[in-house]
Amino acid sequence: MHSQSIRLIDWTMPLVFILCAALVVSGGPNYLISFGWADATIVNRYEGAGLVQYLALILVPILFVLGVATVRPAPMELDDLGGFARISLFLGRVTMLLIALLVGVMTFEVVLRYVFERPTLWANELSLWMAGFLFLFAGLYAMQQRSHIRIFLVYDLFPRWLQKACDTFSTILILIFMAAMIWGGYGEVSQQFFRWELMGTAFDPPVPATLSPAILIVISLVAVQAVSNLIVDWNKEKEIHGVIEEIDVDELTLGAVGDSIHEKKKDD
């Protein structure tokens, strides 16, 4: 853990990446037409990609590389950037901004619906669409931060060599799950994407066409991150995980001091 000042690039880079990625994702059928991958149904409903969409397609990988290269851990995050961690950490920043954007969309809808009595047709479906990507990226970020659910009651009793064996076994299970998901789902996912399957609502966003491939991609990233965690943590010393972590102790201490000062002021 360490303390660093917040830089403007720490949040502008993920924000611009989100905007460009949103253009790319929403313009999926346009790219399919331009690249010659679309069937007659898509050709009749959409047009080929324009200049702005091509520019967004070029910028997405550039912004991704720059974001990964410039990302820094926050004070409350693990400062280990070995292996695959930079990619997961940058996508964690994307996840945090997606939460703020999602709240903004929901707030906008609530104001229009209950203040101006003019609800939108798109806000609810857009919120679900964004939330799908948010939950996927949040799982990858949780894996990188080792903040997923883990039961240490028995694990802490093991010697370090047995802990390594348990970590290896759990990583193998994750790899098997990834392989099973890709093997079983690739055919259906590719069909949903290439026919640009829509949600079937009033707004009709392409949730199946975009989220289904994202599930397989993020599951693969989670598996890679799990392998990276195993490699990075392999030579670490044995740790004992207490009921209360250090950060919790600091927060409790500061809270107790604040309450004591507040009570003293009341007495005075």
Average pLDDT over residues 171-189: 96
Q: What pLDDT score does 257 carry?
A: 52
Least confident interval from 147-151, 153-157, 218-222:
147-151
Higher local confidence (pLDDT), 5 or 239? 239
Determine the straight-line distance between the first and last CA of the chain, rounded to whole angstroms: 38
Query: Does the pLDDT value for residue 183 go beyond 50?
Result: yes
Q: What pLDDT score does 1 carry?
A: 46
Q: What pLDDT score does 202 carry?
A: 83
Q: Give the separation between CA 28 and CA 22, rounded to whole angstroms.
A: 10
Residue 228, both tokens: 């990276």
Average pLDDT over residues 26-37: 92
Q: Give the separation between CA 198 and CA 195, rounded to whole angstroms.
A: 9
**Per-residue pLDDT tens over the stretch 220-232:** 999 999 999 999 9
Q: Give the separation between CA 15 and CA 134, rounded to whole angstroms.
A: 14
Average pLDDT over residues 162-180: 95
Mean per-residue pLDDT over the chain, rounded: 86
Average pLDDT over residues 56-66: 95
Q: What is the CA radius of gyration of the chain?
A: 23
Confidence of residue 156 (pLDDT cuts 50, 70, 90): confident
CA 56 distance to own-chain centroid = 20
Q: What pLDDT score does 8 carry?
A: 78
- Three-class secondary structure of residue 151 per DSSP: coil
- Match 């996912």 to its residue by tokens: 189
Q: Of 83, 107, 112, nearest to 232 (Cα)?
A: 83
Q: What pLDDT score does 153 carry?
A: 81
Q: What's the pTM?
A: 0.84
Percentage, residues of the chain above pLDDT 70: 87
Q: Give the separation between CA 240 and CA 247, rounded to whole angstroms.
A: 15
